[in-house]
Amino acid sequence: MREGTDTLTRREDYVAPSHWIRTVDLSFDLEPAKTLVISRMQVEPNADRPGQPLRLDGEDITLTRVLVNGESVSFHFEDGQLVLDKLPAEPFQLEIRNTCAPEKNTQLSGLYTSGGGFFTQCEAQGFRRITYFPDRPDVMAVFKVTLKADAKRFPMLLSNGNLVESGPLDKGRHFAVWHDPHPKPSYLFALVAADLVCREQKIRTRSGADHTLQVYVRAGDLDKTEHAMNSLIASIAWDEARFGLKLDLERFMIVAVSDFNMGAMENKGLNIFNTKFVLASPATATDIDFGNVESVVGHEYFHNWTGNRITCRDWFQLSLKEGLTVYRDQEFSQDMAGSPSARAVKRIEDVRGLRQTQFPEDAGPMAHPVRPDSYQAIDNFYTATVYDKGAEVVRMMATLVGREGFRRGMDLYFARHDGQAVTCDDFAQAIADANPDSALATRLEAFKRWYAQAGTPRLKAAGRFDAETRSWTLTLSQHTPATPGQADKWPFVIPVAMGLLQADGTPVAGSERVLVLDSAQQSWTFDGLDAAPVASLLRGFSAPVILEWEASEADLFTLLGHDTDAFNRWEAGQRLAVARLLGAVRAGTPLMLDAAYLDAMRAVLRDAALDCAFKELVLTLPSEGYLAERLAEAGEPVDPQAIHAAREAMRAQLARALHEDWAALWEAHASTGGYRPDPVSCGRRALANLALAHLVLDAVAHGDTVWPGRALQRFKDAGNMTDRLGALSALVHGRSPLAANALERFHAMFRGEALVIDKWFALQAAAPEHDGEVFAQIRALAKHPDYSLRNPNRARSLLMTMTALNPGAFHRADGSAYAFWAEKVREIDGFNPQLASRLARALDRWRALAEPYRTLARAAIEQVAAKPELSPDTREIVTRALA
C-alpha cells in the first residue's frame, strides 16, 4: 500500500535537498473518481550538492507525463520515488502530470472526499499522494493553484493565499485561481472544493491592517460558527499584543470537515478543521467543547508564525513548531481565562492531560525523545511527547529566562529565522542568546537534553531541619529510568519553583524561589526558621517530572488548605486521594475513607473563597489510568479491576458522606442563567454536574428515587448541552433505571447532529463498568446503525473512549475486550492506517499489567501483528510493543 515507509528514517541521516523548487503552478481538474493534476515547477539545483539526481516522492498516484523544459526525459522509480537524472545544471522547468482518485482515498491523507466535497490533509506526507514532489519541509515554494470543478456540486473553490481570478467554464464547470505569496513547504498546501457556506467578518487590527476572516461550514451549521470566529479574532489580537506577531494575510479562512484524522491543520491561510473543533452552539456543545474550539482555533492560528513563517528543517524537529505552539495556545487560553484562579484551573487541566497520556507514553514501548532519533511512519510521532512534553520544555525555558526574557528570545528567533526551515537547536539558541546571563544560557547544552533524552525524570526531595542553626536543608536528586534505546541518562536541568509555609499555613516570607537542579543531587539551605517548614515544591508544575516527596499527611492537609499556589493545593488533594486509593489496592482490602480526609474535602466544598471550578477539580478523583501509572512507576503489577473497585468505592463514600454538601451545592449552582462559556459559569456548571452525579449515585445505591427524578427533569429542561449531558451522565453512570429512556430521548432529539451522536456513543462507552454490562453495551453499540468505523470521530467515540478512558470495561479477566479491540484495529487498518495505529497504542503498557491481563493483552497485540499486509504505521506500533 505504502512504499518506502516500512524502513527506518534516521535523524542523523539528514542531507539538504539536491534541488530547490522555487515556484509551483498547480492545476486541478477535480472529479471524485479521477482527478487530473498538472504541476509546473521552477527547479533550481542546490549549488551545495551539484550533479545529484532529483528524487520526487509519490504514493498511490498515476504518472502520465514528465517534461523538463518542455521535452520528455528518461526517469525511473527507486524505493517508491520518481528519479530523474541527467538534469540541467542550470535552473529548469519541470512539468508533471498525474491522476489520483479522491473518492477512493479512505486514509484521509492527501486529496479526499467527505460529504461530497474535496478536502486535503498534507501534513506530514500527504502531498505526495496528490502529485510527485520533494515532499519534505525544507523545500519551500511559492504556490499558484488553479481549481476546476462542477459549479453546482462544488460551488466553493478554495486554496491558500489570495483569490486572483475566478469564473465560469463550459459544461457547467467553473474555476478559481489562488496565489500564495509566502514560500511554503508542501505540507502546508491545501485545497477545498465543496458546497459550503461561510461566516465572514472584516477586522482592522491594532496596527491598522484590514483582513477578511471566514469560517466555512455545511449549510446547516452556520449558527454554530460564532464562537470559532470570536476565538479567531481573539487569537489575532493576542498574538499581536503578547508577541508582536501580526496576521500577514489579507484573507484567513477556516474550513470545517467531518471526516478528519486529527484535530485541525494550519495550512497557510486555509486552516482545515475537524468539525469537532469548529462547531459550537449552547444546545449542541459542552463547556469543554467551547474551550477546545478556542484553544484549537488559537493553536492553528499561532502556527501561522510558529510553524509556517518559520518551519521545520525535517520531521524530527516537529516539536519546534508543535511544542512551541501548544505552549502558545496554553498561554492564550490562560490569558483568556483571566483571573489567577481561572488560569490555575487551566494549568491543572493541562497537567492532568500530560500525566494521563504523556507520562505513560514516556514509560512504555513508544517512549521517544521530544526530538525523536528515528521513525518508520512519521504520523506515529504526532504524540503527547512531541506536543505536550515539548510545550513543557518551552515553558521551562520561559521560566528560566522570565516572561520578558522569553519575549526577547522570540523576537530574536524571528529576526534570525523568519522564512527559514530550522531546528530545535536554533530555537533554544535564540532564547538563550537573547538572555546571555540567564540560568538557561549558562546551562544550554545540558538543558537541551530535554530534547534528546526520553523518559520522565524522578525528582526526589528530602528536607532536614536543624533546630540549632534554625535552618532547613532541602536536598533534590534526580534519576531517569531507562527507555528503549537509552539505558543511561545524563542529569536534566530542572527548574523547581517552590515556597515554604509554616505549620499553620502562613507563607514563610521570602521563601519563594525557583531552584535550578542541574546535577544528580544538590542541596539548598533556608535560614531563620523556628520550626520545620511545610514545603510546597514544583509549584505550577514547573517541570515535567515525577516528584517523589514523602510529605506527611499533616503537611498535605496544610498545603490543601493554605498553599498560595493553587496548583499545589490541588496536587496535595490528589496525593491524599492517591494514598487512600492505592493503600486499598495494595492491601487488597475494601477502601474505607477516614474522617480527616472527608473533613478536608468538606472544607474545600464549603470554602467561600474558592472557585467552583477549583472545587470540582479537587473533588474529581485521580483517573484509573493515572492510578495505574503510579503503581507501574513503583514497579508493582497493575490490576485494573482492583483500581476500578477502589475508585468506585471511594466515589460512593464521598457521595454518602458529603450528601448534604452535594445537595447544597446543587441548589446553589444548578441554575447559571443564560448560557455563557466564561470560566465562572463553566465552573458552576461543572460543580453542579459533579454534585448531581454524586447525588444520583448515592440515591441509586440506597433505593431513593428523588435525585434520579430530578436528574431526569434536568435532562429534559436543560437549556444547554453541558447541563443536559451532565444530567444524562449522572443517570447513565449512576446506573439509574431512568437512564435507558433518557438515552433514547437524547438520541431522538439529536439524530441529525453528528457531533452530538458521537457524545451519545462516548457517554455510554465511558460508563463505570459493572459486571461486564458496560462492555456488553459497547459491543452492542458497535453494531448500531449509526456507528461507523469510516468516520474517525465516530470510530473513536466508542473505541478510544473505552480503551483510553474506561479501564474497568477494557481490562477484563476473560480478555474479551482486548479481542474486540484487536479485531477493530485490524479492520480499520485495512482502510485508514493513521486511525488504526492510534488505536493500536491502547495496550502500550501491557507489560505493567498483572496476570491474567498481561498475557491476554500480549496475545491481543500479537493478533494485530499477525494480520497480513498490516500498514507500516500499525506495524511500527505493534513491533515496538512486542519488542
Which residues of this chain interact with ligand ARG, rule CB under 6 A? 123-124, 261-262, 264-266, 299-300, 322, 379, 382, 834
When CB distances are held under 5 to 8 angstroms depending on the partner's kind, the choice from ligand ARG, Zn ion, none that residue 382 binds is: ligand ARG
Q: Residue 379 to residues 113, 120, 166, 229: CA-CA distances in angstroms? A: 20, 16, 35, 29
Of the pair 87, 296, the CB lying nearest ligand ARG is at 296
DSSP at 220? G
| Locus of grid cell 517541570 | 543
Comparison of 325 and 438: residue with beta carbon closer to Zn ion? 325
Catalytic one of 123, 300, 629, 648: 300
Burial classification of residue 619, based on how many CB atoms lie within 10 Å of its CB (0-12 exposed, 13-18 middle, 19 or more buried): buried
**Hey, is 766 helix, strand or coil?**
coil
- Which region, judged by CB under 5 A, interacts with Zn ion, from 6-14, 97-105, 319-327, 611-619? 319-327
124 binding partner (options Zn ion, ligand ARG, none; Cβ < 5 to 8 Å by kind): ligand ARG
| Close Cβ partners of 517 (under 8 Å, ≥ 6 residues apart) | 459, 476, 478, 491, 492, 493, 494, 496
> Residue 426: is it exposed, middle or buried by C-beta count within 10 angstroms (0-12/13-18/19+)?
middle
User: How many residues at the interface with Zn ion, by CB under 5 A?
Assistant: 2
300 as an active site residue: the answer is yes
Q: Which is nearer to ligand ARG, 282 or 307 (CB)?
A: 307
CB of 263 to Zn ion, least distance (A): 8
| Least separation in angstroms between CB 532 and ligand ARG | 46
Helix (H, G, I), strand (E, B) or coil at 175: strand
Minimum distance from residue 321 beta carbon to ligand ARG (Å)? 7
The one segment of 27-35, 240-248, 315-323, 719-727 that binds Zn ion by CB under 5 A: 315-323
Q: Choose the stretch contacting Zn ion; rule: CB under 5 A; options: 75-83, 231-239, 320-328, 750-758.
A: 320-328
Residue 766's binding partner among Zn ion, ligand ARG, none (Cβ under 5 to 8 angstroms by kind) is none
What is the rounded CA–CA span in Å between residue 825 and residue 422? 36
CB of 427 to ligand ARG, least distance (A): 17
d(CA 328, CA 308): 15
Residue 425 CB partners (closer than 8 Å, separation 6+): 448
Q: Which does 358 bind (CB under 5 to 8 A by kind): Zn ion, ligand ARG, none?
A: none
Residue type, 827: E
| 383/838 Cα distance (integer angstroms) | 10
Q: How far apart are CA 336 and CA 330, in angstroms?
A: 10
> Residue 379's binding partner, choosing from ligand ARG, Zn ion, none, with beta-carbon cut-off 5 to 8 A by kind?
ligand ARG
> ∠ at Cα 420 (395, 368), nearest 5°?
45
- Counting every residue, how long is the chain? 883
Q: How far apart are CA 364 and CA 374, in angstroms?
A: 16
- Which CB, 684 or 796, lies closer to ligand ARG? 796
Question: Based on CB atoms, which residue is closest to Zn ion, 319 or 325?
Answer: 325
Is residue 426 a contact partner of residue 416, using CB atoms and an 8 Å limit?
yes
x/- map, 4-33, Zn ion, by CB under 5 A: ------------------------------
Nearer to ligand ARG among residue 338 and residue 353 (C-beta): 353
Residue 718's binding partner among Zn ion, ligand ARG, none (Cβ under 5 to 8 angstroms by kind) is none
Which entry of Zn ion, ligand ARG, none binds 337, CB below 5 to 8 A by partner kind? Answer: none
Give the type of residue at 793. N
Give least dist CB 829 to ligand ARG, A.
16
Closest CA to 829 of 781, 871, 796: 871
Taking the complex as a whole, the smallest distance from the CB of residue 374 to ligand ARG amounts, in Å, to: 17
Q: Which does 681 bind (CB under 5 to 8 A by kind): Zn ion, ligand ARG, none?
A: none
* DSSP-assigned beta bridge partners for residue 56: 82
In angstroms, what is the minimal distance from the CB of 217 to ligand ARG?
A: 19
Strand partners, 197: 217
SS in 3 state form for 268-335?
A: CCEEEEEHHHCCCCCCCCCHHHHHHHHHHHHHHHHCCCECCCEEECCHHHHHHHHHHHHHHHHHHHHH
Cβ proximity to Zn ion, 190 vs 728, nearer residue? 190
Q: Helix, strand, coil shares of the chain as percentages rounded to 5?
A: 45, 20, 35
Give the shortest CB-857-to-ligand ARG separation in angstroms.
Answer: 26
HSE-CB for 360 with a 13 A CA cutoff: 25
Query: Do 459 and 496 contact (CB within 8 A), yes or no?
Result: yes
Mention every residue, 6+ apart, whose C-beta is less than 8 A from residue 703: none
- Binding partner of 265, given Zn ion, ligand ARG, none, CB within 5-8 angstroms per partner class: ligand ARG
Q: Which helix (H) or strand (E) holds 96?
A: strand 92-100
Contact at 8 Å (CB) between 11 and 372? yes
> In this structure, what is the dihedral angle of CA atoms 15, 21, 27, 28, given to the nearest 10 degrees?
10
Question: From the CB of 29, what's the least distance to Zn ion, in Å?
Answer: 32
Give the footprint of Zn ion on residues 321-350 (CB under 5 A): 322, 325
Residue 337 parent element (H or E): helix 318-337
Between 294 and 611, whose beta carbon lies closer to Zn ion?
Answer: 294
- Nearer CB in complex with ligand ARG: 297/865: 297
192 vs 508, beta carbon nearer ligand ARG: 192
- The minimum distance between CB 303 and Zn ion, in angstroms, equals 6
> By Cβ distance, which residue is nearest to ligand ARG?
382
Residues that bind Zn ion (CB under 5 A): 322, 325
Catalytic positions, written as ranges: 300
